[in-house]
Amino acid sequence: MKVIIADDHWVVRQSLKQIMRRLNHTLHTYEAETFGELTALLAEHPDTSLILLDLVMPGFEGLNGLRSLRARFPDIPIVIVSVHEDVEHVIRSVEQGVIGYIPKSADGLEIERALERVLAGEVSFPRRIIERSHAPAKPAKAIEVAARDPERDIDALTERERAVLELLGGGSSVKNIAEELGLSSQTVRIHLGNAMKKLNLRDRTSAVHYAVTHFGRATSAANG
């Protein structure tokens, strides 16, 4: 498994590399300090399995750069590791299809857990950022628009399916959702699977992206 760590800070790259190797000894890690170095590595290693990406580095234009990178390499999963800790950056990154977002202020254990989930095929988004948001949002309008889409029929969801998606959108893992709702992890997966069928979501990553976009803001507004 090949992982590229793209960040212009040497200390950050070394810290992430140590954590990744501790979690998976078979990893082959590569480092990029600039966007040019990143694209050169991707050209040299098209079989890259994961990119850990800083949104702020030479030659990279933040979210616009992320959009360009996703367009050029749509099949390579990306996890953002960023100094930006506002919900808008998280949501915009999610909309570009990233599978994780890790704030640089996170402690070692939090980063390790996030990367562990990603390496296990899960997704990881910062619940504390989504929940603390006080940014103005219009979740009701987003839900209303989605409900009119026959492929995204939110009204067809049961109360339990909606609850699972709301917690998923707030950054909770399947295990945490199970504990919150007093259910088994398997039951949560069944509810999530049923919701995915009703909303025509092809995989778990799509479900998380949808939940964060449509339910995460509503949860944030309610908790704010």
Per-residue pLDDT of the chain in tens (224 residues, 90 and over written 9):
899 999 999 999 999 999 988 887 788 999 999 999 999 999 999 999 999 999 989 988 888 889 889 889 988 999 999 998 887 888 888 878 888 899 988 888 889 989 988 888 778 887 766 665 434 444 433 433 333 343 456 778 898 988 888 888 777 777 788 888 998 888 888 888 888 888 888 777 778 778 877 765 444 333 33
Domain with residues 2-125, CATH architecture: 3-Layer(aba) Sandwich (3.40)
- pLDDT at position 183 is 87
- pLDDT at position 135 is 43
Q: What is d(CA 163, CA 5) in angstroms, rounded to the nearest whole number?
A: 35
Asked if domains 2-125 and 139-223 share a fold, the reply is no
- pLDDT at position 32 is 96
Q: What is the pTM for the complete model shown? A: 0.67
Q: CA 119 → CA 104, 186, 198, distances in Å? A: 19, 20, 28
What strands, in cross-sheet order, belong to the sheet with 2-6? 28-32, 2-6, 50-53, 78-82, 100-103
Domain locations along the chain: 2-125, 139-223
Q: CA 198 → CA 107, 156, 157, 193, 202, distances in Å? A: 38, 7, 7, 9, 11
- pLDDT at position 141 is 39
CATH class label, 139-223: mainly alpha
